[in-house]
Amino acid sequence: MHPSPSLAPVAFVLGAGLGTRLRPLTEERPKPLIPVANKPLITYAFDRLIDIGIRAFVVNTHHAPEAFWSAFPDGRYRGREIQFRHEPLLLDTAGGVRNVADLFGNQPFLIHNGDVLTDLPIDRAVERHLAGGDLATLVLRSNGPALHVAFDPESGRVIDIRNRLGTNQMRQFLYTGIAVLSPGILSWIPKEGPVSLISVFLEILQSCGRIGGILLDEGIWFDLGTRQSYLAVHRHLWAEPGSFRSIRWVDPTARIEPGAVLEGATAIGARCWIGAGALLKNSIVWEGAEVAAQSRLENCIVRNSRLAKGNLADSDI
Check which CATH number belongs to the domain holding 278 and give it.
2.160.10.10
Please tell me whether residues 305 and 170 are part of one structural domain: no
Judge whether 236 lies within some domain.
no
Q: Does the structure show a pLDDT above 80 at 3? A: no
Please tell me whether residues 211 and 277 are part of one structural domain: no
Judge whether 240 lies within some domain.
no
Mean pLDDT of the region 241-264: 91
pLDDT band for position 17 (cuts 50, 70, 90): confident
Please tell me whether residues 89 and 173 are part of one structural domain: yes
pLDDT for res 163: 86
Mean pLDDT of the region 262-282: 97
Which of the pair, 208 or 140, is modelled with greater confidence? 140
Reported in sequence order, the residue ranges of 202-278 that DSSP labels E, i.e. its strands, are 211-215, 221-223, 255-256, 261-263, 267-268, 273-274
301-302, strands of its sheet edge to edge: 267-268, 284-285, 301-302
pLDDT band for position 197 (cuts 50, 70, 90): very high
pLDDT for res 187: 93
Judge whether 297 lies within some domain.
yes
CA distance 21 to 62: 16
CA distance 153 to 213: 8
Please tell me whether residues 101 and 214 are part of one structural domain: yes
Please tell me whether residues 286 and 190 are part of one structural domain: no
DSSP assignments along 99-138, one per residue: HHGGGSTTS-EEEEETTEEE---THHHHHHHHHS--SEEE
Number of domains in the chain: 2
Please tell me whether residues 186 and 280 are part of one structural domain: no
Please tell me whether residues 292 and 199 are part of one structural domain: no
Please tell me whether residues 161 and 47 are part of one structural domain: yes
pLDDT for res 235: 95
The residue from 161, 188, 223 where one domain ends is: 223
Please tell me whether residues 216 and 276 are part of one structural domain: no
Contacts of 240 (CB under 8 A, 6+ apart): none
Judge whether 215 lies within some domain.
yes
Please tell me whether residues 205 and 279 are part of one structural domain: no
Please tell me whether residues 305 and 194 are part of one structural domain: no
Judge whether 237 lies within some domain.
no
Chain-wide mean pLDDT for the chain?
92
**Angle formed at CA 26 by CA 23 and CA 44, multiple of 5 degrees:** 125
Judge whether 90 lies within some domain.
yes
154-163, 164-173, 272-281, 299-308: least confident range: 164-173
pLDDT band for position 274 (cuts 50, 70, 90): very high
**Angle formed at CA 230 by CA 272 and CA 307, multiple of 5 degrees:** 30
Please tell me whether residues 143 and 266 are part of one structural domain: no
Which of the pair, 179 or 247, is modelled with greater confidence? 179
Instruction: Summarize pLDDT for 231-250 with one digit per residue, the tens.
Output: 999 999 999 887 776 789 99
Neighbours of 96 (CB within 10 A): 26
CA distance 296 to 313: 8
Q: Does the structure show a pLDDT above 80 at 79? A: yes
CA neighbor of 287 nearest in space, from 65, 64, 38: 38
Question: Residue 54 maps to which CATH number?
Answer: 3.90.550.10
Domain span holding position 42: 10-223
CA distance 130 to 209: 17
Judge whether 243 lies within some domain.
no
Judge whether 122 lies within some domain.
yes
